[in-house]
Amino acid sequence: MSTVPAVFVHGNPETDAIWDPLLAELDRAGFPRAGLICLSPPGFGAPLPEGFGATVGAYRDWLIGALEDIGEPVDLVGHDWGGAHVVNVAVSRPELLRSWASDVLGIFDPDYVWHELAQRWQTPGVGEADVAERFGAAVGTRTRSLVERGMSRPVAEHIATAQDETMGRAVLALYRSAAQPVMAGLGHHLEQAARRPGLALLATEDRLVGTDLQRRRAARRAGARVDTLDGLGHWWMTQDPARGARALTAFWTRR
């Protein structure tokens, strides 16, 4: 199959364990694991360096630097906030990419409204109390919370062990830097993402990343092909990794 590196970037409140089931399926489909690279954003399964701002712009620049280190154009795939970082790179540095894929294009639509939990994190005092309770809970409690929200248990057990005060600080900084109208402003440049082939992964039961209309409208503006993951939710890559792998391999091989 392709010798182009495929790079995966996860989001919140996750580590790169979120990709494990999907990468296993891609390996079985003929995309060797050695060519599948996971990048962990600072604070989310990776250290949070002193002085790192953990803002939307800081994460875009971090990803640009990591891709420059790889040294060749890649197939870039992002989930949740990782998907937003992917879009921001596609808009600003397309020469680093052969292609890109994201499951959160709807958050760049001008009509997008942040979900209730994001708005809580964006509220001073309320956000601090929420992350202290959420990430300070016992590992078993954190695991159950992730499973109840749709993540497969084996992956949730891995991720729950990494959720800590550092991740909580990164969550607050990131979401507060992205309060509207920031995302709508970034969405003004979506058309520039069409300079490289794009894929919008649309999990129909994901209620966090915009309406169906918002996601499809943003995909059209970005020039992205849409692959609908009917019946799957926010953590589609743990719910049905085989279907996710089919969507990506079809995109990579039919562009």
Averaged pLDDT for residues 156-182: 97
Q: Does residue 84 register a pLDDT over 70?
A: yes
Domains in the chain, ordered, with CATH?
A: 6-113+183-254 (3.40.50.1820)
Tens digit of each residue's pLDDT (9 = 90 or more) over 25-39: 999 999 999 999 999
109 neighbors 218 (Cβ within 8 angstroms): yes
8 A C-beta contact, residue 83 and residue 102: yes
Say what the pLDDT of residue 253 is: 93
Strands (E), the chain: 6-9, 36-39, 74-78, 97-102, 198-203, 224-229
Dist. CA 253–CA 141, nearest whole Å: 41
pLDDT at 255: 62
- pTM for this model (two decimals): 0.97
- pLDDT tens per residue, range 194-215: 999 999 999 999 999 999 999 9
Average pLDDT over residues 176-184: 97
Say what the pLDDT of residue 3 is. 78
- Distance from C-alpha of 5 to C-alpha of 35, rounded to nearest angstrom: 5
CB 97 within 8 A of CB 89: yes
SS3 label, residue 77: strand
34 class by beta-carbon count within 10 Å (0-12 exposed, 13-18 middle, 19+ buried): exposed
Tokens coding 97 = 């990419």
Distances (CA, A) of 184 to 105, 212, 250: 11, 17, 30
Residue 99 has pLDDT above 80, yes or no: yes
Say whether pLDDT at 1 is over 60: no
Q: What's the average model confidence in pLDDT over 69-82?
A: 97
User: Cβ distance 247 to 201 under 8 Å?
Assistant: yes
In this predicted structure, the answer to whether residue 114 has a pLDDT above a threshold of 80 is yes
pLDDT classification of 254: cutoffs 50, 70, 90: confident
pLDDT tens profile 204-249 = 999 999 999 999 999 999 999 999 999 999 999 999 999 999 999 9
